[in-house]
């Protein structure tokens, strides 16, 4: 009976169960005395928060990663990041391929659901492609970071290698966990550290479907799918807009960019714009940013990156679809056309649903956090959006929050990683098919 019940799980339900199981296992491992440095006690809430932040590739922390966690604890966090970035169902399918050299129909359904794959026949190739690309990009970032840390900063071979591996995995998976207490502030003017990490964040934020297509048809943009075109153009637009916005507002701020030379200011502004793609690294003090910068970053973090990748947020495709819907209505056209293709009306509903549920989730979290903590709206909003967007940037209040507030952020991280639509589908026990239609009528709008 139990086996039959497990096999009858909807693919979206299986994704939720998989992530929940990984978070629980990570929490239990982080509670072990061997996971903390000098046998420091770790509370259940702090372990749960850290495990959720790692599996959901967020990067928000309530304890200092390099000083609180032992090498074993840091390895646990790194494994959780890799699991969360690859996807629990994709990792499970990889194990199935290794052990049995085949995938069951249920495993193929689960994997296709998590990877947002439109195809079903070549799920084995999809899994292998995702794993190989992930490891290849992480290895490339490691190769770039290792010699710089070894020769440029005088770290020993072992320490430089470990730091390079950790930050390569953390950056590609858009996790934002760092082995430095100041995150990456010490490297603010070092392009040999900042640019490889930024590149890994961007690639991870594109989403695996886009990366896989670019690998095959990079020189043939006319063959790109609508999804790939939307992700590429929206990513370029948002990265450019974010860089200009952050750099311009913070240019004279003595606590952030003001004390830097012009070239470093541009590098730091670009790097911080990249991190709003849902990675949580920072090379400047986020707590010292202007309120206007926080608000702009809220918008960028809420949008997030590409679907079916390591990024969070409502996704750039959802944002782009909503933008095209608005433009179509303003023009008075009957159908939404993007890159010479007509957009399905079902996609309209999905985009609106995702956006509205996301707004509701963030606003609910903000209200609850304000009631619990009594902190200002600007900091609470930034923290809530960062959690839901699985970004990991913080104004510095996360570690001081009471346990109840930390649990609220845990829920937001979980919702943001799985996506409101996926979680809603998982909760629904079955699809309802309506065999009739009601007569049409229009309310007044606006």
- The runs of H, that is alpha helices, within 288-402 are 291-303, 316-331, 345-373, 377-388
Is 409:383 a contact under the CB 8 Å cutoff? Answer: yes
Paired tokens of 78: 């790194």
Residue 405 has what pLDDT? Answer: 97
Give dist(CA 239, CA 241) in Å, integer. 6
Residue 218 has what pLDDT? Answer: 85
Give dist(CA 78, CA 175) in Å, integer. 10
Is 317:350 a contact under the CB 8 Å cutoff? Answer: no
Give dist(CA 401, CA 180) in Å, integer. 21
Residue 301 has what pLDDT? Answer: 96
Q: Hey, what's the torsion of the CAs at 226, 231, 233, 237, to 10 degrees?
A: 150
The three-state (H, E, C) secondary structure of 56-70, written as one string: CCCCCCCCCHHHHEC
Closest CA to 171 of 206, 147, 200: 200
Residue 16 has what pLDDT? Answer: 80
H/E stretch holding 6: helix 2-7
Give dist(CA 28, CA 77) in Å, integer. 12
Is 84:19 a contact under the CB 8 Å cutoff? Answer: yes
Residue 419 has what pLDDT? Answer: 75
Residue 90 has what pLDDT? Answer: 67
Closest CA to 49 of 307, 413, 410: 410
The 10s digit of each residue's pLDDT in 142-156 is 999 999 999 999 999
SS3 341: strand
The whole model's pTM is what? 0.89
Residue given tokens 């991870």 in the structure block: 204
Burial of 12 (0-12, 13-18, 19+ CB in 10 A): buried
Residue 18 has what pLDDT? Answer: 84
Distance of CA 267 to the CA centre of its chain: 22
Low-confidence residues of the chain, pLDDT below 70? 1-12, 88-124, 420-433
The 10s digit of each residue's pLDDT in 237-295 is 999 999 999 999 999 999 999 999 999 999 999 999 999 988 889 999 999 999 999 99
Q: Which residues, in sequence order, are CB contacts of 365 under 8 Å at separation 6+? A: 384, 387, 388, 408, 409, 411, 412
């Amino acid at each position: 009976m139990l086996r039959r019940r497990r096999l009858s799980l909807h693919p979206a339900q299986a994704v939720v169960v998989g992530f929940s199981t990984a978070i629980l296992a990570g929490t239990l491992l982080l509670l072990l005395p061997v996971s903390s440095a000098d046998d420091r006690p770790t509370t259940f809430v702090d372990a749960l928060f850290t495990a959720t932040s790692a599996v959901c590739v967020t990067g928000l922390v309530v304890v200092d990663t390099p000083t609180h966690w032992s090498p074993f604890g840091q390895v646990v966090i790194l494994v959780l990041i890799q699991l969360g970035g690859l996807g629990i169902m994709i990792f499970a399918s990889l194990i199935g391929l290794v052990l049995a050299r085949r995938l069951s129909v249920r495993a193929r359904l689960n994997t296709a659901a998590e990877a947002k794959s439109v195809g079903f026949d070549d799920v084995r190739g999809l899994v292998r492609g995702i794993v190989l690309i992930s490891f290849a990009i992480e290895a490339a970032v490691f190769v770039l970071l290792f010699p710089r840390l070894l020769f440029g900063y005088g770290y020993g071979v072992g320490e430089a290698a470990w730091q390079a591996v950790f930050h390569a995995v953390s950056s590609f998976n858009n996790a934002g966990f760092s082995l430095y207490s100041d995150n990456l502030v010490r490297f603010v003017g070092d392009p040999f550290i900042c640019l490889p990490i930024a590149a890994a964040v961007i690639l991870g934020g594109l989403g695996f479907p886009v990366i896989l297509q670019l690998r095959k048809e990079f020189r043939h943009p006319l063959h790109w799918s609508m999804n790939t075109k939307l992700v590429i153009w929206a990513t370029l637009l948002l990265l450019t807009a974010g860089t200009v916005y952050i750099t311009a507002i913070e240019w004279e701020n003595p606590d952030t960019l003001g004390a830097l030379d012009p070239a470093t200011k541009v590098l730091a502004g670009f790097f911080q714009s990249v991190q709003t793609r849902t990675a949580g690294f920072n090379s400047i003090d986020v707590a010292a940013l202007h309120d206007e910068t926080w608000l702009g970053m809220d918008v960028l973090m809420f949008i997030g990156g590409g679907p079916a990748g390591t990024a969070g947020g409502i996704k750039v495709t959802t944002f782009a679809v909503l933008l095209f819907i608005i433009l179509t209505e303003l023009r008075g056209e009957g159908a939404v056309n993007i890159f010479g293709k007509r957009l399905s009306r079902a996609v309209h509903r999905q985009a609106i649903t995702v956006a509205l549920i996301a707004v509701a989730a963030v606003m609910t979290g903000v209200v609850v956090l304000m009631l619990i903590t009594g902190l200002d709206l600007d900091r609470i909003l930034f923290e809530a959006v960062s959690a839901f967007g699985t970004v990991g940037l913080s104004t510095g209040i996360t570690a001081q929050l009471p346990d109840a507030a930390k649990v609220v952020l845990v829920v937001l991280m979980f919702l943001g990683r799985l996506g409101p639509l996926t979680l809603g589908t998982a909760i629904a026990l079955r699809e309802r098919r309506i065999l009739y239609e009601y007569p049409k009528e229009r309310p007044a709008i606006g």
